[in-house]
Amino acid sequence: MEVLDRLGITWQLLLSQIVNFGLLMLLLRMLLYRPVLNMLEQRKERIAQSLRDAERAAQAAAEAEKEKAAILEEARREAQEIRAQAAREAEKIAQEIRARAEQEATEIRVKAQQEAEAQMEAVLMEAKKRIADLAIAAAEQILGRELANREEHERFVDEFLAQQLGGTP
Amino acid sequence: MFGRTADRLRTFFSVPRNRNITLLVLVLLVLSAIIQVPEPHVSLAAEPILSQGPRWLTNSLVTTLVVDVVILAMALAAVIGMKEVPSGWQNVMEMLVEGIHNLTENVSGHGTVWTKRFFPWVMTIFIYVLVSNYIGLLPGVGSIGFYHPAEGAKKEAVLVEEVAQDPDMGDGVLAASVPVGAPAEDKAKEVFIPLFRAPSADLNMTFALAIISVVMTQVFGYQALGGKYFKKFFNFGGKGFLGVIQAVVGILELILEFAKIISFSFRLFGNIFAGEVLLFVMAFLVTFLVPIPFYGLELFVGFIQALVFMLLTLVFFTMATVSHDEHH
């Protein structure tokens, strides 16, 4: 015990150090270890959760991308269809228009021909009449007198013209 | 040859910073010759800070309370206002706690109950020893104190001298190089008693930790293996020559447990106490500059000793929980 006294070891101080250590441990456990370890655990979980979320988000994004591609494809096909449809309809309409135009043109041509023929006829009639008149006038001058029977004359000229023109009006 | 050296010196001293530092060093060295640190007062035991007061109120006890406050302040500073995204001091303490927790986990084995049980002991040992070691390096610890009447001090000095001469203590060389008893006679029968002393430079503290470590080793061993644990020490079941050997080995194991207490306590005490004496002596020999590298050394030693105490405790805990039969 002499040695212990020289080294300054007394059981009271020894006990006080042991108690001090025990108290310190309890306090630190309450104040430091538990909160810090809990925090570390919590953070670990949080990070794992974040990673999972990120992965899920990436998956969702990939799916959205795929969906987008599908929708785009669909839209493109529809557009193609609509275009084709429009082209077909336009073709049809063009054909109709062309047909109608042709028909109208034909009608116009026919009408014009008819009109031309009628005019020609009218002109011919007029000409016939003028020629008859002229012939009569010429004959009157040649004969120096007025034909007594005008109606007879006219009939005669007509017959003559008809003979000359060979039946064409 | 000399011309070139002179040129180099001229360029070196033409830089104001170099010139100032050199000047400072010279001044400090001259001052070291003028300003003398009093002869170091070395006492193996922690001393009572009041000459008339109780014997138990020692300077290391006071410093123990300071260390407790410091540690609790460190803990509170990290924990109060704890954030999920750590910053500043919280980072430091988290790193410390997590580092030692991982170490405990690695040594005691993953997924066992022991990590949780060992951790508070191991962690507290580390932080307590570390802060105790480092507080002895603070200026003022060991240098602020009172002069006490020599009566008790003389007895103290004589005791220390006796210890120093006692070859069994092994500190003879160290103590002999420092005139231990001298201050008491020179200073008109007064002796200087520092107000603070690093707790780990007091054998009470190191012994207490060693006892806790060894006792808890037995407790964990018993928890892990039940009564079978003590068969390690009292193994008289064997027959013949092998049985005798087993019995002797058991007794040796028992002695080893007590030796652990001694080695634990004296390793820590010796390192820290010797470090303090070293710093005292260096400051005594050359007041300025020379002690600085030794401060670095003591910082290193303080950390290493805390680590060693903690690691050994952890290893002993783990070894106690592992059944001996599993090895065969």
CA B61, B66, B69, B70: dihedral to nearest 10 degrees? -130
Interface contact A160, partner B, CB < 8 A = no
pLDDT at B231: 85
Quick: pLDDT tens for A29-71.
999 999 999 999 999 999 999 999 999 999 999 999 999 999 9
Q: Which of B196, B194, B163 is nearest to B180 (CA)?
A: B163
Coil/strand/helix, residue B191: strand
A38 contacts on B by Cβ (under 8 Å): none
Q: Residue A143: which pLDDT band, with cuts at 50, 70 and 90? A: confident
- The DSSP output letter for B229 is G
Residue of chain B minimizing CA distance to A11: B204
Q: Please check whether residue B321 is in contact with residue B224, taking contact to mean a CB–CB distance below 8 angstroms.
A: yes
Q: Are A17 and B207 within 8 A, CB to CB?
A: yes
- At residue B192, φ and ψ (nearest 5 deg) are -85, 125
Q: A-chain residues within 8 Å CB-CB of B156?
A: none
Tell me the pLDDT of chain B averaged across its residues.
84
| Section B91-102 average pLDDT | 94
* Chain A residues within an 8 Å CB radius of B128: 21, 24
CB contact under 8 A, B56 and A16: yes
Could you read off the pLDDT of B120-149 as tens digits, one per residue? 999 999 999 999 999 989 888 888 888 887
Give the 3-state secondary structure of B43-89: CCCCCECCCCCCCCCEHHHHHHHHHHHHHHHHHHHHHCCCCCCCCCH
Token reading at A67: 């969906």
Nearest to B122 by CA among B112, B130, B111: B130
ipTM: 0.80
CA distance B105 to B113: 10
Cβ-defined contacts of A57-62 (< 8 Å, 24+): none
Sign of the torsion angle spanned by Cα atoms A136, A137, A139, A143: positive
DSSP helix/strand/coil, B193? strand
User: Averaged over B1-29, what is the pLDDT?
Assistant: 88
* Contact: B128, A36; criterion CB under 8 Å: no
Query: Does residue B168 register a pLDDT over 60?
Result: no
- B78: nearest CB among A32, A40, A42: A32
For residues B219 and B313, is the Cβ–Cβ distance under 8 A? no
pLDDT at B188: 54
Q: A-B interface: how many C-beta pairs under 8 angstroms?
A: 113
Contacts of B160 in chain A (CB under 8 A): 6
Q: Is the pTM of this model over 0.80?
A: no
DSSP assignment of chain A: -HHHHHTT--HHHHHHHHHHHHHHHHHHIIIIIHHHHHHHHHHHHHHHHHHHHHHHHHHHHHHHHHHHHHHHHHHHHHHHHHHHHHHHHHHHHHHHHHHHHHHHHHHHHHHHHHHHHHHHHHHHHHHHHHHHHHHHHHHHHHHTS--S-HHHHHHHHHHHHHHHHTT--
What Å distances lie between residue B3 and B12, B16, B19, B119, B132, CA to CA? 14, 22, 20, 66, 54
Question: Considering CB atoms only, which of B64, B68, B123 is closest to A33?
Answer: B123
Task: Report pLDDT digits (tens) over A84-141.
Answer: 999 999 999 999 999 999 999 999 999 999 999 998 999 888 888 888 888 888 877 7
Distance of alpha carbon A62 from alpha carbon A67, whole angstroms:
9
- Per-domain residue ranges of chain A: 2-165
Would the CB atoms of A18 and B71 count as touching at under 8 Å?
A: no
CA atoms within 13 A on the CB side of B53: 9
Q: How far is B285 from chain A (nearest CA, A)?
A: 27
Least Cα distance to B216 among B105, B97, B112, B120 occurs for B120
Alpha-carbon distance of B60 to A71, in angstroms, equals: 80
Query: How is residue B237 annotated by DSSP?
Result: -
The confidence score (pLDDT) of residue A114 equals 93
> Tokens in use for B292?
């600085």
Q: Which of B61, B69, B79, B206 to mutate to test the interface with A (most CBs of A within 10 A)?
A: B79
For residue B204, give the chain A residue with the closest CA: A14
Q: Where are the domains of chain B?
A: 59-144+195-327, 146-194
